């Protein structure tokens, strides 16, 4: 699986959590324009690993009506984490403007 993330905090935290929590191999490179991080992920993290990573990456996860047992395994679970992190970020940004 190859993903591109904006250069910033999320990619470094995700990289650290993927490596320490689950048995996946991750290569990462910064793109030539220095705006994106390209991450190549190989492996199949369990749904339990995905839930643990989500809880550590998205600190506000307990504020959302999410069943921790509903995360998928593998690449689909990684995409769920990325989507949840983005939604959480947008909600924080929206609440800071109110």
> Tens digit of pLDDT for each residue in 35-80?
999 999 999 999 999 999 999 999 889 888 988 889 999 999 999 9
pLDDT band at 18 (very low <50, low <70, confident <90, very high): very high
Scan for tokens 């069943």, then name that residue. 67
Quick one: tokens of 80?
């769920």
How many domains does the structure of the chain reveal? 1
What is the distance, to the nearest Å, from the Cα of residue 30 to the centroid of all Cα atoms in its chain? 17
Closest to 47 measured CA to CA, from 19, 14, 81: 81
Range of the domain at 80: 2-96
User: Is the confidence at residue 98, as pLDDT, over 90?
Assistant: no
CA angle at 79 for the pair 75 and 80, rounded to the nearest 5°: 115
Tell me the average pLDDT of the chain.
91
pLDDT band at 4 (very low <50, low <70, confident <90, very high): very high
């Amino acid at each position: 699986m190859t993903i591109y993330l904006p250069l910033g905090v999320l990619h470094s935290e995700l990289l650290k959590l993927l490596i320490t929590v689950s048995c996946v191999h991750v290569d990462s490179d910064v793109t030539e324009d220095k705006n994106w991080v390209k991450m190549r992920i190989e492996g199949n993290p369990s749904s339990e690993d995905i839930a643990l990573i989500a809880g550590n990456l998205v600190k506000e996860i307990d504020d959302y009506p999410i069943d921790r047992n509903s995360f998928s395994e593998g690449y689909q679970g990684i995409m769920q984490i990325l989507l949840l992190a983005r939604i959480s970020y947008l909600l924080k940004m929206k609440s800071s403007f109110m």
